[in-house]
Amino acid sequence: MDNFEARLERFAATLPETRRHLHRYPELSGAEFATTAYLSERLAQAEVPHRVGQGNRGVIAEPATAARSSGTPLIALRADIDALPIEEANPVEYRSRHPGVMHACGHDAHTSILLGLTLSLHRAQGLPVTWRAIFQPSEEVGQGALEMIRQGALTGVEAVVALHVDPNRPVGTVGVTPGPRTAWCQDFAIEVTGRGGHGARPHNTVDPIAASAHLITLIYQALPRQNDARNPVVVTIGAIQGGHASNVIPDRVSLKGTVRSIDQPTAERAHDCLQRLCASAAQAFQASVAPAFEPLLPGLVNEPAVAKICAGAARELLGEAAVATDDRVSMGAEDFAEYTRLVPGCMISLGVNTPGRPITPLHTPTFDIDERALLIGARLLARVLLRWPSASLSH
Ligand SMILES: [Zn+2]
Ligand SMILES: [Zn+2]
């Protein structure tokens, strides 16, 4: 352990440097080209075997370990690398140099932690496992995990572990809760098409604004009433577009929304319910109401056996009181769930709030982290690898 701690200590100063570099030059989902090139260059300098993902987005690295023998478990660690379409409002030296783009979900932190760990543990002797580092693009649009899985990220992998920063938790504390962690998520768009005309003579038109207003009310009223209240579901219409003048009825209105639940049957029932409500609004208003659903993103479930290993490593590193194991499930979504659907996995929630400072939530223009969390994250992941049981997980 001392040997590993010493290796990490040598990289400690580079963690904030890497994070600030990534923070200054954030890239949107689907366009993580410079980030990918930067990671590949850093890995190449240290001679870490790796391959760049299709379309020059994402990296899969295979750090050398002395333990690469048959029967040794292969553990994947994953970091996401993409940023968000948000204009940063933090007056810091490392503020985003890309207008309208910001690392407001901490993926710069995840990436610098995993890169630092990869560089420091490359060629380390004495790990009980072999391991792979997955630097994944396009998390924020829920597609990058599937892209990396299609490119073999999980081939031969026994378990997968990731961190996500949590601004509600003080730095030096973590959450490692077994069971369901995030929601099943389905985004959708609804195209309401009528027949436009004069605002004074709606009877000569098919009014898509009236149909949309009714539909939104219907969704908010009927969907919760048709759902068993013991299984939470939440639906939000986040965008509505249509019309341009006070006295003109337009031809078309577009709606966008998202529906979240914490189990698959509820997600499927909510999907069916939305389709039914669209059909009913269409019939009532004689309009065309066409819903289009994005693929259903699964809920993230922390496998109890993997969560136990991660929680044990966290307690050893941070102390009993610093490790929460009973966090409530989030209605947010996380595409790390695509990995844990295929192999057992665990996402650790990493505290990044400076005690006494106000909490700024994820996905906001003032989001920032306490950078002391970077070394804690790297030390924690190293310990997870070191403490991994040599016997295969039964699953
Ligand atoms: Zn996010
Ligand atoms: Zn995130």
User: Is the overall model pTM greater than 0.75, yes or no?
Assistant: yes
Ligand 2 centroid – CA 198 distance (Å): 46
pLDDT tens, the chain, 395 aa long: 778 888 899 889 999 999 999 999 999 999 999 999 999 999 999 999 999 999 999 999 999 886 556 678 999 999 999 999 999 999 999 999 999 999 999 999 999 999 999 999 999 888 889 999 999 999 999 999 999 999 999 999 999 999 999 999 999 999 999 999 999 999 999 999 999 999 999 999 999 999 999 999 999 999 999 999 999 999 999 999 999 999 999 999 999 999 999 999 999 999 999 999 999 999 999 999 999 999 999 999 999 999 999 999 999 999 999 999 999 999 999 999 999 999 999 999 999 999 999 999 999 999 999 999 999 999 999 999 999 987 666 54
Q: Relative to the alpha carbon of 107, which ligand is closest?
A: 2
- Could you tell me the end-to-end alpha-carbon distance of the chain, in angstroms, rounded to an integer? 28
Q: Relative to the alpha carbon of 166, which ligand is closest?
A: 2
Ligand 2 centroid – CA 157 distance (Å): 23
Ligand 2 centroid – CA 335 distance (Å): 9
Contact between residue 208 and residue 255 where contact means Cβ atoms under 8 Å apart: no
Query: How buried is 228 (Cβ within 10 angstroms: 0-12 exposed, 13-18 middle, 19+ buried)?
Result: exposed
Encoding tokens for residue 243? 């019309």
CATH 3.40.630.10 range(s) for the chain read: 2-182+299-386
Ligand 2 centroid – CA 275 distance (Å): 30
DSSP string, 308-320: HHHHHHHHHHH-G
Ligand 1 centroid – CA 138 distance (Å): 10
Ligand 2 centroid – CA 47 distance (Å): 29
Encoding tokens for residue 297? 């993103």
Contact between residue 22 and residue 109 where contact means Cβ atoms under 8 Å apart: no
Contact between residue 214 and residue 285 where contact means Cβ atoms under 8 Å apart: yes
Encoding tokens for residue 9? 């200590």
Which of 343, 362, 266 lies closest to 300, judged by CA?
A: 343
- Core vs surface per residue 352-380: b (16+ CB within 10 A) or e: bbbeeeeebebebeebbbbbebbbbbbbb
Q: What is the CATH number of domain 184-293?
A: 3.30.70.360
pLDDT given at position 67:
58
CATH 3.30.70.360 range(s) for the chain read: 184-293
Residues 208, 206: Cα–Cα separation, whole Å: 6
Q: Which residues surround ligand 1, an ion (CB under 5 A)?
A: 105
pLDDT given at position 65:
82
The structure tokens 């961190």 sit at: 163
Which of 273, 274, 272 lies closest to 256, judged by CA?
A: 274
pLDDT given at position 68:
53
Q: Relative to the alpha carbon of 84, which ligand is closest?
A: 1
Q: Are strands 74-80 and 159-170 parallel, antiparallel or unpaired?
A: parallel
Per CATH, the homologous superfamily of domain 2-182+299-386 is Zn peptidases (3.40.630.10)
The residue type at 332: G
